[in-house]
């Protein structure tokens, strides 16, 4: 079983600044993946970025990147050059190696981007 901890219930960042959203996890799986999803106020869940536990490089997708520290079991999301449209809830979710996409979501971090 996986356990996810997102310690920041709310974060504020100024437009054009970078922000880091924390995520730590606890898993006994040797091989696993980590997903980040964004949920704007409209409610849909939007895939942002994925990191495999055996990937040598930190994942990047446009303005999103992961600061993946396997030994510390953390996979923090970095958003560079924040935009007003980045205001949303952000969820971290690990995927175990047991087959099936039974993601376990954290409680999320509410990000607010200000002018």
Closest by CA to 108, choosing from 22, 33, 30, 3, is 22
Count of other CB atoms within 10 angstroms of residue 26: 11
Q: Binding residues for another protein, how many (CB under 8 A)?
A: 22
Q: Is residue 94 close enough to count as binding another protein by CB under 8 A?
A: no
Q: Is residue 99 close enough to count as binding another protein by CB under 8 A?
A: yes
Task: Measure the CA–CA gap between 31 and 42, rounded to whole angstroms.
Answer: 34
Q: Is residue 103 close enough to count as binding another protein by CB under 8 A?
A: yes
Q: Is residue 60 close enough to count as binding another protein by CB under 8 A?
A: no
Task: State the burial class of residue 38 (Cβ atoms within 10 Å of its Cβ: 0-12, 13-18, 19+).
Answer: buried
Count of other CB atoms within 10 angstroms of residue 10: 10
Q: How far is the CB of 66 from another protein (least distance, A)?
A: 14
Interface pattern 33-52 for another protein (x via CB under 8 A): --x-x----xxxxxx--x--
**Cβ proximity to another protein, 4 vs 79, nearer residue:** 4
Residues at the contact surface with another protein, assessed by CB under 8 A: 4, 35, 37, 42-47, 50, 91, 95, 99-108
């Amino acid at each position: 079983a996986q356990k996810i901890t997102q310690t920041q219930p709310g974060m504020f960042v100024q437009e054009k600044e970078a922000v880091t959203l924390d995520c730590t996890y606890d898993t006994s799986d040797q091989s696993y993946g980590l997903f980040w999803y964004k949920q704007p106020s409209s409610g849909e869940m939007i895939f942002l970025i994925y990191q495999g536990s055996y990937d040598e490089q930190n994942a990047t997708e446009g303005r999103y990147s992961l600061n993946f520290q396997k030994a510390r079991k953390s996979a923090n999301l970095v958003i560079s050059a924040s935009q007003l449209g980045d205001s949303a809830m952000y969820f971290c979710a690990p995927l175990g190696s047991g087959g099936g996409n039974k993601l376990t979501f954290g409680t999320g971090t509410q990000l607010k981007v200000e002018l």
